[in-house]
Chain A
């Protein structure tokens, strides 16, 4: 028996969330008195996972499995679960992991708990704490099936080193041609820029910025911080920014370390999607804006004055602390 963790890669390199889910897997394995096996698809430095307590890595080298395909990846992971006799399977909260999680759970007849924020409270019965009601509450969810799937929330458990040496073995899942019947034909993706899903810092603008022509303000601040840019729903509805930047209850969830909200009122649907961020800073002209009640730090002031100055001060700070 072992704990199996799916560690995601991007062009052969592990994503940051891979180290976080591996760290989580190690905590579960210690509770269960077992070891961690990881499965990766085309990882260049698979042994790197040893740093986070993974003792064995199944590295899939098949060219047909070099690019993400939810069904083919889910079936491969299911085969690894049975060859390793794994009882607990860990996934991240990335869009890809959430895509394959349901398929995997269906194939394994396994219960799945998503958005989990802490190591299991008990393993007999198996209970995990997760966010629910779009961050307006937490649920303690008991998984009763023989195999249990846990989706770990971004940035909640953290990366924990636990050095061991990882044995890397090639793994060749049996996947049929017919399992590739949903085919990727085109990927349109920003490269070299932090994304809302994995950024440590997110800078977000609302209707208070008046129009798309003012977004340079947001982008410059984001650039100094190495942050991803985001927006409120009306901003994407108005076409000022792409839909992929819309965050909140009906948009993308944000679980960054720092969330800076500029010209956003803080409607309940917006807050629901961003409140998992650890530290929130609000810049708004209206001292009564509801967002101030949910924020850690705030400046009552005009974005057009405050933001350029903040960007300058941060540049100075970065220069001094480089």
Chain B
């Protein structure tokens, strides 16, 4: 089985979000970039398929040279090879077109992407790829088993979960649950050394169109001070929620 894990390079979850150039660009100053958490769960599940079922695992990212530390980290965690499509990931549609090309030429059986990138929160790339390549697709995937050509997946739904039977080739949008938090791996020295020897193929973008662009950003309005209610006076909270906030 040949697996491709799609990795988006995102600001660490603790990052402060600021904008520059008259609020038209995300300010990367001082921001630490990491593997998108949803993709890290997927990559860890891919390592399980590698170790238990002999799968080959490649990782791909669409991004400029600055994303290489993130992709090297994926190699250090244990991916066999990496592909970087050398282009700025301008929008979800453009990224999906680039990855669809990588998938077509690589002959992958299973594509593991994430439910969403935690930066722009698109949540669209895997679905778009599924449509472009007419592949089976399961989103918000929290469990995945493969046997031969058959796949059993569980997806989260509003208020519960749904078990799905499907087959390869398959693309998923994964998230926590695919593996547990405690299964995530921190690359060790050996992994980091080995990653230096592994192939990182840089390919040029295929044309592609950008469907959307963010023309301006804005930070949320600053929050007013909290109204504290004394714990001896809980009636007051009920009163405020009813008469002031009007939410009960």
**Interface residues, chain A, with chain B CB atoms under 8 Å away:** 70-71, 74, 94-96, 98-107, 109-115, 127, 129, 131-145, 181-190, 193, 195-198, 200-201, 225, 233, 237, 243-244, 246, 249-251, 257-258, 268-269, 272, 275, 278-279, 281-282, 292-302, 305-306, 309-310, 313-314, 317, 321
Q: Are A70 and B137 in contact (CB under 8 A)?
A: yes
Q: Are A186 and B127 in contact (CB under 8 A)?
A: no
Q: Are B140 and A314 in contact (CB under 8 A)?
A: no
Chain A residue, CB-CB nearest to B37: A250
- On chain B, the residues within 8 Å of A302 by CB distance are 231
Q: List, sorted by A's number, 12 A–B pairs whose CB atoms are closer than 8 Å.
A: A70-B127, A102-B125, A129-B218, A143-B211, A145-B212, A182-B137, A183-B165, A190-B160, A195-B159, A293-B226, A299-B234, A317-B242
Any chain A CB within 8 A of the CB of B89?
no
CB of B54 to closest CB in A, whole Å: 25
**Interface residues, chain B, with chain A CB atoms under 8 Å away:** 11, 13-14, 16-17, 19, 26, 37-38, 91-93, 96, 118-132, 136-140, 142, 155-167, 175-177, 180-182, 210-220, 223-224, 226-231, 234-235, 237-238, 240-242, 245, 247-248
Q: Are B142 and A141 in contact (CB under 8 A)?
A: no
Q: Are B136 and A134 in contact (CB under 8 A)?
A: no
Chain A residue, CB-CB nearest to B212: A111
- On chain B, the residues within 8 Å of A133 by CB distance are 11, 17, 26, 118-121
CB of A103 to closest CB in B, whole Å: 5
By Cβ-Cβ distance, the 4 closest A-B pairs, closest first, are A102-B127, A106-B131, A111-B211, A189-B160
A-B contact count (CB 8 A): 273
B226's partner among A113, A132, A297 (CB-CB below 8 A) is: A297
Q: Are B163 and A186 in contact (CB under 8 A)?
A: yes
Q: In the bound complex, what is the Cα–Cα distance between A186 and B216 (angstroms)?
A: 44
Instruction: Tell me the dominant secondary structure on chain A's binding face.
Output: mixed
Q: Are B158 and A250 in contact (CB under 8 A)?
A: no
CB of A251 to closest CB in B, whole Å: 7
Q: Are A297 and B164 in contact (CB under 8 A)?
A: no
Q: In the bound complex, what is the Cα–Cα distance between A186 and B93 (angstroms)?
A: 32
Other than the given A187-B161, A225-B248, A313-B234, 12 more pairs (CB < 8 A) read A95-B139, A102-B96, A103-B131, A112-B124, A114-B123, A133-B17, A133-B120, A136-B17, A142-B215, A293-B223, A297-B227, A297-B245
- On chain B, the residues within 8 Å of A310 by CB distance are 234, 237-238
Q: In the bound complex, what is the Cα–Cα distance between A305 and B193 (angstroms)?
A: 54
B175's partner among A140, A250, A282 (CB-CB below 8 A) is: A250
- On chain A, the residues within 8 Å of B229 by CB distance are 297-299
Instruction: Tell me the dominant secondary structure on chain B's binding face.
Output: mixed
Chain A residue, CB-CB nearest to B227: A297
Q: Are A105 and B128 in contact (CB under 8 A)?
A: yes
Q: Are A114 and B139 in contact (CB under 8 A)?
A: no
Q: Are A249 and B118 in contact (CB under 8 A)?
A: yes
Q: Are B226 and A282 in contact (CB under 8 A)?
A: yes
B231's partner among A115, A186, A301 (CB-CB below 8 A) is: A301
Q: Are A197 and B159 in contact (CB under 8 A)?
A: yes
Q: In the bound complex, what is the Cα–Cα distance between A111 and B90 (angstroms)?
A: 12
CB of B246 to closest CB in A, whole Å: 9
Q: Are B124 and A141 in contact (CB under 8 A)?
A: no
- On chain A, the residues within 8 Å of B37 by CB distance are 249-250
Q: In the bound complex, what is the Cα–Cα distance between A137 and B101 (angstroms)?
A: 32
Q: In the bound complex, what is the Cα–Cα distance between A309 and B118 (angstroms)?
A: 38
Q: In the bound complex, what is the Cα–Cα distance between A185 and B138 (angstroms)?
A: 13
Q: Are A278 and B247 in contact (CB under 8 A)?
A: yes
- On chain A, the residues within 8 Å of B125 by CB distance are 102
- On chain A, the residues within 8 Å of B19 by CB distance are 137
- On chain A, the residues within 8 Å of B162 by CB distance are 184, 186-189
Q: In the bound complex, what is the Cα–Cα distance between A157 and B226 (angstroms)?
A: 25
Q: Are A201 and B93 in contact (CB under 8 A)?
A: no
Q: Are A103 and B130 in contact (CB under 8 A)?
A: yes
- On chain B, the residues within 8 Å of A269 by CB distance are 13-14
Q: In the bound complex, what is the Cα–Cα distance between A98 and B175 (angstroms)?
A: 14
Q: Are B157 and A279 in contact (CB under 8 A)?
A: no
